[in-house]
């Protein structure tokens, strides 16, 4: 009855698994550092407090951008530009005008970012443009959009 039991050797891990684990942890750490220090800031983060000077030539800018809206209208009426591209062009014109007047990069902003900027006229206009800009088929009320675009530019202060 003197049986001798021999215990199995402890399970051994290869050093490769330890090195792989350390590499994965270092990768996660580096990604976290990059995210917090080097990521591109959004419009909301760059413009916590909106400060801008009114340009001296705002009336000249208004005239210039109202002419661009007239060109969009003529292009649509002549049949050279479809309604969707007209909406895209109107959105670009108004956004660029606001950018040149304020210096705030609204031409790169999403609709939710525009809402936070507290520019209700611009926000409402761009919101109105979203469906015709991005949908294949949408209600075509381009004359109202042109009129609204003109109004936003004419009444900008």
- Could you read off the pLDDT of 39-94 as tens digits, one per residue? 666 555 555 555 556 667 888 899 999 999 999 999 988 988 888 888 889 999 99
Instruction: Give pLDDT, residue 20.
Output: 92
Under a CB-based contact definition with an 8 Å cutoff, are residues 104 and 50 in contact? yes
Percentage of the chain beyond pLDDT 70 is 82
Residues 84 and 136: their CA atoms lie apart, in Å, by 8
Residues 72 and 102: their CA atoms lie apart, in Å, by 23
Is the pLDDT at 1 greater than 70? The verdict is no
Question: Who wins on pLDDT, 138 or 108?
Answer: 108
For residue 117, what pLDDT band results from cuts at 50, 70 and 90? confident
Residue 79 gets the label, from left (phi > 0), alpha (psi -120 to 50) or beta, of: left
Is the pLDDT at 103 greater than 70? The verdict is yes
Instruction: Give pLDDT, residue 2.
Output: 73
What digits encode the pLDDT tens for the residues 15-33? 888 899 999 999 999 988 8
């Amino acid at each position: 009855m003197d049986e001798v039991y021999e215990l199995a050797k402890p399970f051994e891990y290869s050093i490769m698994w330890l090195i792989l684990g350390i590499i994965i942890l270092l990768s996660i750490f580096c990604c976290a550092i990059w995210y917090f220090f080097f990521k591109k800031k959004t419009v909301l983060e760059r413009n916590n407090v909106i400060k801008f000077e009114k340009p001296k030539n705002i009336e000249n800018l208004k005239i210039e951008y109202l002419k661009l809206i007239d060109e969009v209208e003529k292009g649509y009426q002549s049949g050279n530009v479809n309604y969707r591209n007209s909406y895209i062009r109107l959105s670009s014109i108004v956004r660029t005008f606001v950018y040149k007047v304020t210096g705030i990069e609204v031409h790169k902003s999403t609709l939710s970012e525009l809402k936070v900027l507290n520019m209700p006229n611009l926000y409402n206009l761009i919101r109105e443009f979203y469906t015709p800009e991005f949908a294949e088929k949408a209600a075509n009320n381009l004359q109202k959009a042109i009129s609204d675009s003109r109004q936003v530019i004419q009444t900008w202060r």
